[in-house]
Amino acid sequence: MKISVAVFFGGRSTEHEISCISANQAIHALNREKYDVLPIYISKDSEFYVGDELLDLANYSSFIKNPASVLTKVAIFKDGNTVKVRPLKGLFKNEWRIDVAFPVVHGTNVEDGSLAGFLQMLDLPYTSCDVLGGAVGQDKAVMKDIFRAEGIPMTDYFIVYNSDFEENYSEYLKKAKKIGFPLIAKPANLGSSIGIEVIKNAREFKEKVNECLKYDFKVVVEEMITDLKEVNISVIGTNEKAKLSAIEEVTNGFLDFDKKYQPKGSKSAAKGAKTAAAKGASKGMASTARKVPADLKKKQKEAIEKIALQAFKALNAHGCVRIDFMIDRKNDKVYCNEINTIPGSLAFYLWKEVGLDFDKECDELISNALNRYARRSKKTYSFDTNILDSYAKK
């Protein structure tokens, strides 16, 4: 019997459309001889839908604002030892089971541990980070604090809190001046380079930070490397055993949202899914201009690989992640920038370079998920107690 794999994507996130692109790539990469694949679309209202229309990205612009007009709304629940997917209307005979969950979600309310928590409650194996890893990986402020505690090299930074920015503005400005301009400001809990601002001088500080605070309650303000080489590496595995992909060098400068995902000439993130389908930009992160392998000195390559494994373990990560690094060309120093716990396109373009095709990458993620679930199932999560009996006798 084939393994039933449910690919979860979408969600109430600013990266909703990007998740649709990444998931569509994974859906078509999964080997149909091994797996029954069930795409499960999470709407922007956090409702679950299934339907054949999910197999073709070109269909998405027709239902993304009103999925119920095209797709079938479903409930996901546990029935005995089986997790089932059932339509909320119509005949119940159209049920599906889930053996393994394959989250391909990006951003807040999904990638940040929210979906992992739901899957954990269902007692399902799943291919991504657990609740803690997803939450910490999404929150750049907490992530950086953990990396700093682990001795992972990073640029200087500080955190701005929405609650006291106006009251303590002068203190925040002092911190900014101490690091020195230019600076980078970014919302703590967003991805895909959404909301990132470059602060060129003290006059721009308040305006640019307030712009970031429109997206989040916390903002990371950090040193900007002006002569920058951006390189990325992916890690697959568990906190017990992991392996490394090839290293890429991004060759078209700082990757804002448009450079990562939009076709040339498109400026609106809100048009992401429609534009991608209509104009052929559905390659996601795989379409980014890059050099693989990156042009690195031996010591730089060794440092990146060592730090990547250290960062993966520090966050108790699982599944496939991408870790982004910065190299200061002026002094050749390597800095860890951030971890992406479910990277765009699942970084398949990096694994292909080391002989792991996308279908094999998916196989490995599913195998790791099942093995991790088996180990977790051996742990004790409950014990017999007479506490309720004692209350009943009062």
- Note whether 352 and 365 are same-domain residues: yes
- Note whether 39 and 71 are same-domain residues: yes
DSSP state of 262: P
Query: Are 248 and 290 within 8 A, CB to CB?
Result: yes
284/157 Cα distance (integer angstroms): 30
Does residue 334 surpass a pLDDT of 90? yes
Mean of the per-residue pLDDT values for the chain? 89
CATH code of residue 203: 3.30.1490.20
**Within 13 Å and on the Cβ side, how many CA atoms surround 165?**
22
CA atoms 208, 18, 309, 99: torsion sign: positive
Residue 310 lies in a domain: yes
Q: Which residue range is the domain that position 212 belongs to? A: 156-223
- Closest C-alpha to 84, from 27, 123, 112: 123
Average pLDDT for 23-51 = 98
Overall domain count for the chain: 3
- Note whether 177 and 296 are same-domain residues: no
The 3-state DSSP class for residue 80 equals coil
- Under the banding of pLDDT at 50, 70 and 90, the label for residue 287 is low
Residue 355 lies in a domain: yes
CATH code of residue 311: 3.30.470.20
Using alpha carbons, list the distances in angstroms from residue 316 to 31, 42, 102, 381, 393.
28, 26, 18, 20, 44
| pLDDT for the residue numbered 265 | 39
Sequence letter at residue 158: F
pTM given for the model:
0.88
| pLDDT for the residue numbered 239 | 80
- Under the banding of pLDDT at 50, 70 and 90, the label for residue 254 is low
What number of other Cβ atoms are within 10 A of residue 155's Cβ? 18
Residue 337 lies in a domain: yes
Residue 67 lies in a domain: yes
- Note whether 235 and 366 are same-domain residues: yes
94/185 Cα distance (integer angstroms): 49
- Under the banding of pLDDT at 50, 70 and 90, the label for residue 279 is very low
- Under the banding of pLDDT at 50, 70 and 90, the label for residue 328 is very high
60/50 Cα distance (integer angstroms): 13
Residue 96 lies in a domain: yes
Question: Exposed, middle or buried by CB within 10 Å (0-12, 13-18, 19+), for 256?
Answer: middle
Using alpha carbons, list the distances in angstroms from residue 131 to 79, 135, 304, 376.
23, 6, 26, 14
CATH code of residue 77: 3.40.50.20
Last residue of a domain, one of 205, 223, 241: 223
Query: Are 48 and 40 within 8 A, CB to CB?
Result: yes
| pLDDT for the residue numbered 277 | 37
- Note whether 164 and 56 are same-domain residues: no
